[in-house]
Amino acid sequence: MAKTRYKNLDDVSNQKSFKELMKWMKERRSKVKDLATQIPQASKKEADRLQKNKDKPSLTWIGHSTFLIQLDGLNILTDPVWARRMGTGKRLTEPGLTLSEIPAIDIILISHGHYDHLDFATIKRIKGDPVFYVPHGLKSAFTRRGYERIVEADWWDSFSEKGVLIDFVPAQHWTKRTLTDTNTSHWGGWVLRGEHHKQSIHFVGDTGYFRGFKEIAEKLSPDIILMPIGAYEPEWFMRDSHINPEDSVTAFKEMSGGLFIPMHYGAYRLADDTGPEALSRLLAEWENQQLEREKLKILDIGETLWV
């Protein structure tokens, strides 16, 4: 039986040729980048308070696309990756909290199957007995490793987990974990809304800029946007899969969001941009668009925002 191959909205393709890949590698060799300057760690980390917290909503940036979200008494992790290496490269910044410092986890949200978003070596070490919410096509990767509490989702599927509403929403990306499984599982983002805490949180996942942002806003009106800003350079190669800082601001405006929290930068060198470069471009575009500064919250690694 032929495997299902998932597609983006408007059938946008992310696939690149070998010739294009070689062109990128040649460009990379000609660039000089500052890899000594990195995203800072939070001066104050609140592991003890997070361990004991049962009622106050919070967001803690662990690094890359990994957040600890506490909502209505539940502990939720997004794309948990504590890996010290990604491919041939070392992690550039330490995770904001160690796995021993995070509380037992109730829910794990996976945006897609790429290794920098789905790391089974990390998942094996997470405390608790979480329910895994995963894009359609990824369930078998979990069940063959012995995990049983798996919920698969297609775009616009809605769920409720102990009072927390969970929606799986579109993103523009692709997946691949082996030589033959390209796009045999889906990709997307997750929107969370607590029964008691009404501000909704949109974990965008991994995405290029696309018209789906407007549709998500029309259907769900998320308030807090966890938005990727990194791994965009060279843009002729990356733009279909990774949103750049300027387009991330455009997307935020289209969604009429209340708070922008950047992510997906500074932990791994997945493209040619650096974490500080992504952040600098984001701040410049925010000022250029004359947006309210209080709507942008840049978290240090390991910093907690009490919502």
Tell me whether residue 206 is in a domain: yes
Tell me whether residue 35 is in a domain: no
- pLDDT tens-digit series, residues 200-230: 999 999 999 999 999 999 999 999 999 999 9
CATH number of the domain that 270 lies in?
3.60.15.10
Q: How confident is the model at residue 252 (pLDDT cuts 50, 70, 90)?
A: very high
Contact call for residues 50 and 305 (beta carbons, < 8 A): no
Tell me whether residue 9 is in a domain: no
- pLDDT tens-digit series, residues 112-146: 999 999 999 999 999 999 999 999 999 999 999 99
Structural domain boundaries, residue 297: 41-306
Mean pLDDT of the chain: 95
| Helix residue ranges, H only, the chain | 18-29, 47-52, 120-123, 139-143, 212-220, 235-238, 245-255, 275-288
Q: Is the pLDDT of residue 1 over 60?
A: no
Tell me whether residue 20 is in a domain: no
Token digits for 174? 């692709």
pTM (two decimals):
0.96
Contact call for residues 39 and 27 (beta carbons, < 8 A): no
- pLDDT tens-digit series, residues 73-124: 999 999 999 999 998 899 999 999 999 999 999 999 999 999 999 999 999 9
- pLDDT tens-digit series, residues 159-215: 999 999 999 999 999 999 999 999 999 999 999 999 887 789 999 999 999 999 999
pLDDT given at position 195: 86
Cα distance between residue 141 and residue 147, in whole Å: 9
Question: What is the percent of the chain with per-residue pLDDT over 90, rounded to a whole number?
Answer: 89
pLDDT given at position 67: 98
Q: How confident is the model at residue 30 (pLDDT cuts 50, 70, 90)?
A: confident
E strands in 84-137: 85-86, 89-90, 107-109, 131-135
pLDDT given at position 2: 59
What's the structural domain count of the chain? 1
Question: What is the percent of the chain with per-residue pLDDT over 70, rounded to a whole number?
Answer: 99
